[in-house]
Homo-oligomer: A and B are copies of this chain.
Amino acid sequence: MADDTETSADSAPRSRRPRRGAGGVTLHEVARIAKVAPITASRALNTPDRVAPATLARVREAIERTGYVPNTLAGSLASSRSRLVAGVVPTVVGPVFQELIQSLDDSFAAAGYQFMLGQSGYNASREDALIEAIIGRRPDGIVLTGAVHSETGRRRLQASRIPVCETWDLTDTPIDTLVGFSHEKVGTAVAAHLVATGRRRLAVLTGDDHRALRRKAGFVEAVRAAGLAWDSGDGVPTGIVGAPTTAGSGRTGLIDLLARYPDIDAVFCSSDLLAVGVLIEARARGLAVPEALGVVGFGDLALSRDFDPPLTTVRIDGTTIGRLAARFIVDRVEGRPVAERVIDIGFSVIRRASS
């Protein structure tokens, strides 16, 4: 029994090459203790029903005794399957992607995959580095949030032949599969809502990121189409704030907009946090919402429903995006055919008291 726990004390040909490795317990150790071949120990772990009960018990006891933890690096290298899916988000800071992240985590866990997250940090070169590092680890799938900007990154992903799902956006040229919605149409729909409720002097307060600006573009286009352009610039007074958007930038953004355009009767904000800032500032200066000013956000935070007045906003169903993205990946990995490769999940305008 004593020599069982020693590490290959018997026939080590120590003559030339010293041993390497991290020195942990290996499957060979376990197999030796259980008096089976390594492959049998492997089967006991991966396909226990193809191993005789008595053998299984011996292997399990050996695992227990040694505290063996499989080296999945080695396993993945040998089998080309990692049971790991990597996700890329611009940032986990801010509430924007949280519902989606949660859903991806849950969906992949349910399918027996591990989900791990990396941040690209709104920075193209760091995004490229992250993508290369992820591909290098050969995950079974990759979920991208927001389209990949660099051509390098797209080419590498395509060449890797790893199943990819892009989310949160619609593009003409998906790398592989895609679950998203049209940011332009969000802008259009919000403009339609405000116009329909009698607003005539519309403004925009937006973060300066890609997708927010596309929502703004859709908004502006709809306003012009309705014949309500009233600013000398592109027709709609606009305040732009840097990322990340906060309630603070919402407050200062509104102050600034009102200074330039005192007649504004509605503001479309690119995030709920920004809109909450507008609500706080409006109340602080005695501007009645919704009577004197209509306010619409984007994202449908829990806070938006709980605010006073509750905030009209646009809801994106991150849970469904995550579920569908996971299904795409898992189907691909397990060799099932994927019928349609692009899904437009849409969005909904949630009307509350702020507009």
Enumerate chain A interface residues (CB-CB to B < 8 A).
20-24, 67, 69-74, 76-77, 80, 82, 84, 86, 91-95, 98-99, 101-102, 105, 109, 114-119, 121, 126, 130, 132-133, 135-138, 155-156, 159-161, 246-248, 250-251, 273, 276-277, 280, 283-284, 302-303, 305-308
Cβ-defined partner of A246 (8 Å) among B20, B72, B306: B306
Task: Assess A70 versus B136: contact at CB under 8 Å? Given A101-B93, A160-B24.
Answer: yes
Chain B contacts for A101, CB-based, 8 A: 92-93, 119
Cβ-defined partner of A117 (8 Å) among B20, B102, B117, B156: B117
- Find out whether the CB atom of A303 lies under 8 angstroms from the CB atom of B161: no
Can you name the residue of chain B whose Cβ is closest to the Cβ of A273?
B303
Q: Least Cβ distance of A108 to chain B in Å?
A: 11
Pick 27 A–B contacts, CB within 8 A, sort by A. Answer: A21-B80, A22-B161, A24-B161, A67-B155, A67-B159, A69-B135, A69-B159, A71-B77, A71-B138, A72-B133, A72-B136, A73-B73, A73-B82, A74-B77, A77-B77, A93-B101, A93-B102, A102-B119, A114-B118, A114-B130, A247-B302, A248-B302, A250-B306, A251-B306, A277-B306, A280-B307, A283-B308
Task: Assess A117 versus B92: contact at CB under 8 Å? Given A67-B159, A306-B251.
Answer: yes
- Find out whether the CB atom of A22 lies under 8 angstroms from the CB atom of B248: no
Q: Least Cβ distance of A268 to chain B in Å?
A: 20
Chain B contacts for A92, CB-based, 8 A: 92, 98, 101-102, 117
